[in-house]
């Protein structure tokens, strides 16, 4: 339990993940029927980027800090606008006053009858999360291991919704744990949307996860990856969306190339991968 996302909040991987999360939630809002969001590794919920953790790494500067130059009237700008509205005002350096994590994004977009379950095991992060959502009756914040939560809360009573799986990837077996836990949850609830985030430091491990999703008998899935450099370290990130909204692949084909260009660390280093089956 050493991982603290506060050091990495607002980086390029967060921009990628949160922009796509917003598009999925907006799609769920198209229908009147209520839904449930289950966030298995929720973190603190939101992050003050002026805090020491974020200041020490400065990762936000090559993530959300780059979005200030995005033309808002471009096709990508229009797709990003709902998420950027949630991010809110930024200072002169492009730093938001408060960077919203996935729980805050879900809170902002969920409607009165929708329900949200946020799980976090790190004691300090959970305390911050619980305090942040305490007054929202739609939300349950639980001091619970994310992998336990993934098996415990599906299928939800609403029978509609999204499971976001976003572990810290500190453990060596995190990819295999994700594949195994997803398969068990999917066997119980095959109609929900699952969003599985991962870092691409080991391309074979990422490919194995995609193969495991295919073996789950899911009827459709979308694999999205964004690279900002070809160097070592975390420079590529991915999201597998099982049962993706039918509009998401088209939106990704607009968003990802624009983000790759905006977030690349050297000219020409940005790249996007879009793969799918079914649909």
From the list 225, 158, 150, 144, the residue with the least C-alpha distance to 182 is: 150
Instruction: Map residue 270 onto helix, strand or coil.
Output: coil
Are 90 and 12 in contact by the 8 Å Cβ rule? The answer is no
Q: Which of 124, 166, 202, 275 is catalytic?
A: 166
Are 182 and 38 in contact by the 8 Å Cβ rule? The answer is no
Rounded distance between C-alpha atoms, residue 10 and residue 16, angstroms? 10
Around Cβ 163, how many Cβ atoms within 10 Å? 25
From the list 231, 234, 239, 233, the residue with the least C-alpha distance to 272 is: 239
143 is catalytic: no
Rounded distance between C-alpha atoms, residue 185 and residue 177, angstroms? 12
DSSP letter assigned to residue 40: S
Active site members: 166
């Amino acid at each position: 339990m050493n991982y603290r996302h506060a050091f990495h909040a607002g980086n390029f991987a967060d921009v990628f993940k949160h922009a796509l999360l917003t598009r999925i939630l907006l799609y769920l809002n198209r229908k009147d029927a209520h839904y449930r969001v289950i966030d298995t590794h929720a973190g603190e919920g939101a992050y003050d980027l002026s805090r020491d953790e974020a200041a020490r790494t400065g990762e936000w500067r090559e993530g959300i800090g780059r979005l200030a130059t995005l033309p808002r009237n471009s096709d990508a700008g229009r797709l990003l606008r709902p998420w950027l509205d949630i991010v809110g005002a930024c200072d002169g350096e492009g730093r938001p006053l408060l960077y919203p994590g996935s729980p805050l994004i879900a809170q902002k977009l969920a409607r009165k009858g929708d329900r949200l379950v946020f799980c976090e095991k790190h004691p300090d992060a959970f305390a911050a999360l619980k305090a942040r959502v305490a007054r929202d009756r739609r939300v349950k914040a639980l001091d619970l291991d994310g992998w336990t939560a993934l098996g415990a809360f599906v299928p939800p009573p609403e029978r509609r919704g999204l499971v976001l799986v976003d572990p810290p990837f500190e453990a060596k077996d995190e990819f295999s744990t994700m594949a195994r836990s997803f398969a068990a949850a999917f066997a119980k609830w095959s109609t929900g949307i699952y969003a599985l985030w991962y870092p691409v430091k080991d391309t074979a491990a990422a490919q194995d996860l995609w193969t495991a999703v295919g073996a789950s008998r899911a009827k459709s899935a979308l694999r999205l990856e964004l690279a900002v450099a070809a160097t070592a370290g975390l420079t590529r990130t991915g999201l597998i969306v099982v049962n993706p909204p039918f509009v998401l692949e088209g939106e990704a084909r607009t968003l990802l190339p624009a983000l790759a260009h905006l977030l690349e660390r050297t000219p020409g280093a940005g790249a996007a991968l879009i793969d799918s089956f079914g649909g």
